[in-house]
A and B are shown apart, each in its own frame.
Chain A
Amino acid sequence: MTALAALVDPVTPFAAPFLARPLVLLVALAGAAGTVGVLVHVRRLEFSTDGLTHAVFPGLAIGAMLGGAAGLLPGAIGAALVAAVVLALISRRGQARDTAVAIVLTSFFSLGVVLVSASDGIAGSLSDFFFGRLLTITWSDLWVALALIGIAVALIVATAGQQLYAAFDPVGARRAGLNVLALEVVGNVAVALVVVAASASVGTLLALAVVIVPTAAARALTRSLVAAGVLSALFGALTGWLGLWLVVQLAALGLDAAPGATVALTMIVGYLVALAAGAVRTRVARPRRRGRDLAAAPLARTAAASVPRSHEPVPGTRADAAR
């Protein structure tokens, strides 16, 4: 019985610093998912975010060449910021956003490959960034990542109203006097900073999951944007903790699973559960709505203006499907 209790103990393993540090980082990333992730969702920047994860590659290579392991993070930050601005400018120049992202992704990634192939001895330290080093991050790595996440969240919180306006109606926002290009650059920079912070934990290849999956799961459960932000943060924190706990349990069983990938897969499973829960909720709510609509139909026919019957419809309905 004692052995079983130890096996499922959700708290004690995190008293060890090597597990506490990644947990703190994943909780901070969950906060970013609830703010920056929501912006990515409403502005449909999922592919741009993917492009940014690839765009940090040449920065990593240049950083490693100039400063070894200590140069990785500054290099990644520099490349991500440049990519964030270039993405905003190219899409302004009349290129479709996906085309702009594909061009930036390809050119930055090719540059990284050329730099790595022309240098000796940096491939090893780069693999840390690609596949993550969740359990080996140091206190100084953690502070840098927390600072990056803090700046990103502050950028989005400070411009939240304007970001929402520009995402909802960019033409109207411009007519109202908002600097839509500046808002786009600020948004991209915030995403880039979170991507770099996530790269230090789960790796660049899985950073996308940390930014995008929590909001996608939250949106399956609610249509409210504010609720989606809160749910997204809770989802990120819960699945982050659960993923780390799984790593510990698998290690106890003798399985040395990659921690970053395990956390990402936990998030995906959580997303599937949220999708199922959303579908069940829709199925339960639909007959109730239909009944209400039928009861209101005679009244609706006589009403001059068409008034929607439901003030808070459930996910998975007509308008949701369009997204």
Chain B
Amino acid sequence: MSEPPVVEIADASFGYGGAPVLTGVSFEVREGEAVALIGPNGAGKSTLLAGILGLAEHDARTFRVPTGRGEIGTLPQSSEIDPAFPVTLEQVVAMGRTPRLGLRWPGGRDKRIVADALAAVGLSEHRGTRFGDLSGGQRQRGLLARALASQPQLLLLDEPFNGLDHGSRDALLATIRRLKADGVALIITTHDLELARAVCDRTLLVNREQIAFDETACVLTLERVEAAFASHVMEIDGHTLATTEHHEAEHGVHHHHLLQDDLVQDHGGAPGADGR
């Protein structure tokens, strides 16, 4: 018999007390699976993550998420962190143990878990480095190690690839693949469809309501992405993508997979470029 999903949500809406921000949400995340959460700004992605964490209200037919202390790990955008704060990388990663520890002081086992988390993101040699002295990519991986130190069943990664150079991005992708192999479930918000395809088994596409939830290759079709990003401009690998209704007329194929060649780029030259 297969394991029950780590996250199971059916017919859910999420909000902060007033009108719901996001409605009609039904999806699940299994052990060792990564689900991409994709949608334009204001689509309700952050509200959904907040709802999973219990920080936003939800109304649902089924709502099953990990509830124990430290069972959900989060990776914030590292820009939210004060780089001048006087802590070492190891101290930051050790913070991840505190939800599990309560008022107990860390013991040998906790120190080993912190060391393993640092090794998992490839930063063991920098453990004594002041957090603010690390590069942007290293900080991001350090915060991921902090999330890993709580030994989560579920990891919520909020735009983890933002602002990363290629080296850091590849290292993060490798870490995500290792986590999946270890059975950790992941929900990853990203604007980068290529990266979603690279590591995410399934994709949840939203824009104030759920548009699709299926295998990533099935969800990221031109038609569905246009439905989600109507009138929005998004960036993919540093290129600006404008999704407009012109595509539908010019391509004519609705279930075409969105590949790099299909994107309307600000450099021009791509079919259907509308100059935006």
Residues of A within 8 A of B (CB): 42, 158-159, 161-162, 164-165, 167-169, 171-178, 219, 223-225, 228, 304-308, 310-313, 319-320, 322-323
Stretch from B3-11, B74-82, B205-213 contacting the other chain: B74-82
Q: Which residues of B contact A173 (CB under 8 A)?
A: 95
Per-position binary interface string of chain B over residues 34-45, scored 1 when its CB falls under 8 Å from any chain A CB and 0 otherwise: 000000000000
Known: A176-B70, A322-B84. A225 touches B165 (CB 8 A): no
Task: State the Cβ distance, A92 to closest chain B Cβ, in Å.
Answer: 14
| CA of A320 to CA of B76, assembled, Å | 24
Known: A172-B76, A219-B86, A320-B84. A165 touches B95 (CB 8 A): yes
Asked if residues A176 and B76 are in contact (CB atoms below 8 Å), the reply is no
Residues of B within 8 A of A (CB): 53, 55, 69-70, 72-74, 76, 80-88, 91-92, 94-99, 101, 103, 105-106, 126, 128-130, 132-135, 137-138, 143, 146, 150, 165-168, 171
Residue of A nearest to B135 (CB): A306
Asked if residues B129 and A161 are in contact (CB atoms below 8 Å), the reply is no
Q: Which residues of A contact B94 (CB under 8 A)?
A: 161
Residue of B nearest to A323 (CB): B84
Q: Which residues of B contact A313 (CB under 8 A)?
A: 130, 133
Q: Which residues of B contact A312 (CB under 8 A)?
A: 128, 130
| CA of A284 to CA of B91, assembled, Å | 28
Asked if residues A311 and B98 are in contact (CB atoms below 8 Å), the reply is no
Known: A161-B94, A169-B76. A311 touches B128 (CB 8 A): yes
Asked if residues B80 and A169 are in contact (CB atoms below 8 Å), the reply is yes
Asked if residues B81 and A169 are in contact (CB atoms below 8 Å), the reply is yes
Contact of A305 among B87, B106, B165 (CB under 8 A): B165
Contact of A176 among B86, B88, B98, B165 (CB under 8 A): B98
Q: Which residues of B contact A164 (CB under 8 A)?
A: 87, 91, 95
Q: Which residues of B contact A178 (CB under 8 A)?
A: 98-99
Q: Which residues of B contact A177 (CB under 8 A)?
A: 69-70, 72, 99
Known: A165-B98, A311-B129. A305 touches B137 (CB 8 A): yes
| CA of A161 to CA of B128, assembled, Å | 17
Q: A172-B143, A224-B88 are in contact. List 10 more A-B contacts (CB 8 A).
A: A42-B86, A159-B103, A161-B97, A167-B85, A175-B76, A224-B86, A304-B167, A306-B138, A308-B134, A319-B132
Q: Which residues of A contact B146 (CB under 8 A)?
A: 172
